[in-house]
């Protein structure tokens, strides 16, 4: 596959691609191999998004916890 490795995608890129993956799967018409590969890519993108969001949430909470001590 020619896609960028999921680990190298930023949050927006990962999310946008995930949206596209879902759309393509919803349209159907793919053979099992292609849809299986697309689905696996989607899973990986979703995991990447969750990873990003978790990191962002942790940074926000850390920053607030540090600042509230002032």
Partner 1 sequence: MTSPPVSSPENPLPVRSVATKVAGWIDRLGSIWVEGQLTQVSVRQGTRTAFLTLRDPAADMSLSVTCSPMLIQSSPVPVVEGARVVLYGKLSFFTGRGTISLRATEIRAIGVGELLARIERLRGMLAAEGLFDPRLKRPLPFLPRAVGLITARASAAEKDVLSVARRRWPAVRFEVRNTPVQGPSAVPGILRAIAELDEHPDVDVIVLARGGGSVEDLLPFSDEALCRAVVAARTPIVSAIGHEPDSPLSDHVADVRAATPTDAAKRVVPDAEAELALVAELRARSSAALRGWVAREARGLDALRNRPVLADPVSGLDRRGEEIAEMRRVVRRDVRRALAAESTAVDHLRARLVTLGPAATLARGYAVVQRVVPGDDPEVLRSVVDAPPGTQLRIRVADGSVTAVGMGRVAAPSTASERMDP
d(CA 47, CA 15): 10
* DSSP secondary structure, 10-30, as one string: -HHHHHHHHHHHHHHHHH---
CA 30 to each of CA 2, 3, 9, 12, 45: distance values in angstroms, whole numbers, following the listed order: 18, 18, 25, 26, 19
Written as six digits, the tokens of 6 are 């999921």
**Closest approach of Cβ 8 to partner 1, in Å?**
18
Of residues 10-69, those binding partner 1 (CB under 8 A): 11, 15, 18-19, 21-22, 25-26, 32-33, 35-37, 39-40, 42-43, 46, 49-50, 53, 56-57, 60, 64
Q: Which is nearer to partner 1, 1 or 8 (CB)?
A: 1
* Chain contacts with partner 1 (rule: CB under 8 A): 1, 11, 15, 18-19, 21-22, 25-26, 32-33, 35-37, 39-40, 42-43, 46, 49-50, 53, 56-57, 60, 64
């Amino acid at each position: 596959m020619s896609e960028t490795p999921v680990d190298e995608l930023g949050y927006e890129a990962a999310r946008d691609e995930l949206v596209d993956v879902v759309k393509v799967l919803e349209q159907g018409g793919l053979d099992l191999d292609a849809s299986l590969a697309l689905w696996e890519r989607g899973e990986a993108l979703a995991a990447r998004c969750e990873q990003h969001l978790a990191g962002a949430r942790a940074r926000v909470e850390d920053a607030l916890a540090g600042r509230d001590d002032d």
